[in-house]
């Protein structure tokens, strides 16, 4: 995608909020009836799901840092990044080490891959846990180099939706897809339609749901004629589909972000979902749009027998729009008081634009040092990483009549108080070290300096060798993470390591017998050593007896954790 939805749409924000039409809540209530009965999208909370992040070594055909970096062939770093918010990856079974500096708490800066089935399963488990009903899988032009990876992602989403009890459907984004009119039909019949056989595939009014985002937008990325667009909408309806239109904000008036002459296209859809990202940035904007867009849009849709699914967005983290949830809640409240039965939350995992609701770094402790990225506490209010998932769940309950309609946000930023939970600390970071010896300038201090590219290398060709750190106090150590530098020149290797501990630095006992630990660039060149429950230690010693990649012990980062 050349230009994001957000970049284009921000250009029309000023025009969009001009002029408030004073329509009261009585008028809103009179037009609140949905055209269709509740189904998998009507009366439900739907989230947009990108599923477009990949990492080298995850097995994805695209074989690169897809959407994490501007240059997908190089690891993400402060100078090679395409995200504006950092995910909280503590629950992911697999992560991939980047070239960003360590997090503020000393942990390695690692990212997830959407191509790992365990990642998609986790995302859909969160959806189920937090009351999200349906996911709209974003599908861009699948005829290019990204196609095989996108095809596989559709299968992974299907599997996760089935296993977690969440509905899903295909949402085509026609941006920059100039051969869309014929390609989209072929893609549906030869690939995507097969997924409608899944019990998890969303249906509305008994028909499989398909969304087409981008018809009618007044920009160069979507230069389609009304006739071409109407042909596609009617073709999908003839296939027995319930068709949602992701349409311009001003679809009803046919101006500003909407091309003129598209009224017949808009009216042909079964459901309309006007885009809102980049349109509003604070509660005042949201209130204005309640009057100038939401209420009249709903009335127009109801009069024409079209279902209505407006957007709700959390706000950009980097733009400081979120106001610790007040901005998003204001939109939910406006939808509820207008009688809107269905919403589309934009988006679940959009870390590139910063409007994601999936778990996000709470504070600088969970963000790479010096990256310039902001945490959810950017306005001074501590928020849990799952706060916007919880907020979405509460907003959905209000829309469904399961909770009172209130302008006062019931969701607390931090469950159980306003005090954030303790941040895990790398006990070895910048602590004193000692060693059996080292070669050249690769001394033991390099292993605890927080720099993933500096390293300790023992005397060569003289096993056994050891590396030791003084934690300063006695701790119940449960986990050790070792790494070697990430550059490709450091190929895969296995080092044999024994773990010893001491409380006085003199008498050491074996905590773990010698074992081989693999370091592979494809998985971040790191290895985790889990320790059994044992008496506390202050001095931790690693004894190296073999290395398949070099005749010495090698450690770029030695991290020690209590959990």
3-state secondary structure 319-368: CCCCHHHHHHHHHHHHHHHHCCCCEEECCCCCCCCCCCCCCECCCHHHCE
CA gap 34, 31 in Å, rounded: 8
Whether 289 and 241 have beta carbons less than 8 Å apart is answered as no
Q: Which superfamily is assigned to 433-561 in CATH?
A: Galactose-binding domain-like (2.60.120.260)
**Gap between the Cα atoms of 549 and 554, Å rounded:** 10
Give me the pLDDT at residue 417, please: 63
Long-range contacts of 504-510 (CB under 8 A, 24+ apart): 504/538, 504/539, 505/470, 505/538, 505/539, 508/539, 508/541
DSSP 3-state of 123: helix
Tens digit of pLDDT for each residue in 222-279?
999 999 999 999 999 999 999 999 999 999 999 999 999 999 999 999 999 999 999 9
* Dihedral over alpha carbons 377, 395, 337, 312 (to 10 degrees): 70
Q: Mean pLDDT over residues 475-498, rounded? A: 91
Q: What are the structure tokens assigned to 184, written together?
A: 């989209």
**DSSP at 31:** T
Per-residue pLDDT tens over the stretch 500-523: 999 999 999 999 999 999 998 877
Strands 167-173 and 207-213: parallel
Q: 307: which 2 tokens?
A: 């279902």
Q: Convert 285-310 to b/e letters by CB count within 10 Å (16 or more is b).
A: bbbbbbbbbbbbbbbbbbeeebbbbb
Q: How confident is the model at residue 563 (pLDDT cuts 50, 70, 90)?
A: confident
Predicted confidence band of residue 420 (pLDDT cuts 50, 70, 90): low
CA 231/CA 237 separation, integer angstroms: 10
pTM score, two decimals?
0.79
Domain chopping of the chain, boundaries: 5-399, 433-561
Q: Backbone phi, then psi, for 203, in 5-degree steps?
A: -130, 145
pLDDT at residue 7, as a whole number: 42
pLDDT-based confidence at 12, cuts 50/70/90?
Answer: very low
Over 50: is that where the pLDDT of 291 sits? yes
- The reported pLDDT for the residue numbered 6 is 42
What is the pLDDT at residue 452?
A: 86
Query: What is the distance between the alpha carbons of residues 259 and 561, in angstroms, rounded to a whole number?
Result: 57
List the structure tokens of 537.
């230690």
Q: Which run of H or of E encompasses 283? A: helix 283-289
The pLDDT assigned to 313 comes to 97
Per residue in 19-72, pLDDT (tens digit) is 333 333 433 333 345 689 999 999 999 999 999 999 998 999 999 999 999 999
Residue among 273, 269, 310 at smallest CA distance from 290: 310
- 435 - beta bridge partners? 467
Model confidence at 332, pLDDT cuts 50, 70, 90, reads very high
Q: Which tokens go with 375?
A: 């945490």
Q: What is the mean pLDDT of residues 200-217?
A: 98
Q: Which of 103-112, 231-240, 358-367, 373-382 has the lowest mean pLDDT?
A: 103-112
- Beta partners for 213? 173, 246
Fold of 5-399: TIM Barrel (3.20.20)
Per-residue pLDDT averaged across 105-115, rounded? 92
Instruction: Look up residue 327 and give its two tokens.
Output: 């901005």
pLDDT for res 94: 87
| Coil/strand/helix, residue 211 | strand
Q: Which residue stretches of 37-170 are H helix?
A: 117-129, 147-164
Q: What is the mean pLDDT of residues 477-499?
A: 91
Over residues 386-397, the pLDDT tens digits come to 999 999 999 999
Over pLDDT 90: what percentage of the chain?
Answer: 83
Backbone torsion region of residue 354, taken as left when φ is above 0, otherwise alpha when ψ lies between -120 and 50, otherwise beta: left
Instruction: Return the pLDDT at 108.
Output: 87
**Region for residue 380 given its phi and psi (left: phi exceeds 0; alpha: psi -120 to 50; beta: otherwise):** left
- CB neighbours of 7 closer than 8 A, spacing ≥ 6? 278
Tell me the pLDDT band of 470, cut-offs 50, 70 and 90.
very high
CA dist., res. 552 & res. 562, Å (int)? 28
Least confident of 121-130, 187-196, 310-319, 532-541: 532-541
**Of 453 and 173, the one with more pLDDT:** 173
In whole angstroms, how large is the CA radius of gyration of the chain? 26
- Which tokens belong to 406? 């209130």
| Ordered DSSP codes for 156-179 | HHHHHHHHHT-EEEEEEE-TT-TT
Cα separation, 504 vs 32, in Å, equals 73
Cα 484 to Cα 476: distance, rounded to the nearest angstrom: 25
Mean confidence (pLDDT) of the chain: 91
Neighbours of 381 (CB within 10 A): 16
């Amino acid at each position: 995608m050349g230009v994001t939805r957000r970049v284009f749409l921000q250009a029309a924000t000023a025009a969009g909020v001009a002029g408030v039409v004073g329509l009261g809540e009585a008028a809103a209530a009179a037009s609140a009836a949905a055209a269709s009965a509740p189904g998998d999208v009507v009366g439900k909370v739907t989230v947009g799901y990108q599923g477009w992040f990949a990492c080298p070594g995850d097995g994805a055909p695209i074989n690169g840092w897809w959407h994490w970096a501007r240059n997908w062939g190089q690891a993400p770093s402060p100078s090679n990044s395409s995200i504006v918010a950092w995910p909280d990856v503590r629950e992911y079974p697999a992560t991939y080490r980047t070239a960003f500096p360590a997090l503020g708490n000393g942990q390695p800066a690692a990212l997830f891959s959407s191509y790992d089935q365990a990642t998609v399963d986790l995302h859909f488990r969160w959806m189920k846990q937090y009351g999200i009903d349906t996911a709209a899988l974003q599908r861009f032009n699948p005829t290019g180099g990204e196609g095989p990876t996108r095809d596989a992602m559709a299968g992974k989403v299907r599997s996760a939706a089935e296993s977690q009890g969440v509905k899903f459907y295909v949402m085509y984004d026609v941006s920059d897809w100039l051969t869309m009119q014929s390609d989209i039909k072929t893609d549906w019949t030869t690939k995507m339609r097969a997924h409608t056989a899944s019990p998890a595939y969303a249906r509305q009014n008994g028909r499989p749901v398909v969304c087409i985002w981008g018809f009618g937008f007044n920009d160069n990325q979507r230069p389609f004629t009304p006739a071409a667009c109407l042909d596609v909408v009617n073709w999908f309806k003839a296939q027995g589909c319930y068709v949602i239109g992701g349409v311009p904000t001003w679809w009803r008036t046919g101006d500003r972000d909407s091309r003129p002459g598209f009224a017949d296209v808009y009216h042909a859809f079964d459901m309309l979902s006007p885009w809102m990202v980049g349109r509003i940035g604070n509660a005042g904007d949201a209130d204005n749009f309640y009057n100038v867009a939401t209420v009249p849009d709903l009335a127009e849709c109801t009069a024409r027998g079209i279902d209505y699914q407006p957007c709700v967005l959390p706000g950009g983290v980097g733009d400081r729009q979120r106001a610790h949830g007040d901005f998003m809640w204001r939109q939910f409240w406006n939808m509820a008081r207008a009688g809107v039965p269905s919403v589309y939350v934009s988006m679940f995992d959009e870390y590139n634009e910063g409007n994601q609701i999936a778990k996000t770094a709470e504070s600088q402790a969970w963000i790479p040092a010096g990256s310039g990225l902001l945490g959810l506490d950017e306005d001074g209010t501590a928020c849990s990483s799952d706060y916007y998932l919880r907020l979405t769940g509460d907003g959905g309950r209000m829309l469904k009549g399961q909770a009172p309609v209130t302008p006062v946000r019931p969701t607390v930023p931090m469950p159980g108080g306003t005090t954030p939970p303790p941040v895990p600390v790398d006990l070895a970071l910048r602590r004193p070290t000692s060693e059996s010896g080292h070669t050249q300038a690769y001394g033991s201090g390099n292993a605890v300096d927080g720099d993933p590219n500096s390293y300790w290398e023992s005397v060569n060709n003289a096993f056994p060798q050891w590396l030791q750190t003084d934690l300063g106090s006695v701790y119940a150590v449960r986990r050790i993470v070792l790494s070697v530098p990430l550059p490709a020149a450091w190929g895969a290797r296995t080092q044999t390591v024994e773990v010893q501990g001491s409380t006085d630095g003199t008498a050491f006992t074996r905590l773990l017998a010698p074992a081989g630990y693999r370091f592979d660039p494809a998985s971040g060149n790191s290895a985790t050593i889990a320790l059994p429950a044992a008496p506390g230690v202050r001095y931790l010693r690693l004894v190296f007896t073999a290395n398949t990649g070099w005749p010495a012990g090698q450690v770029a980062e030695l991290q020690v954790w209590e959990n």
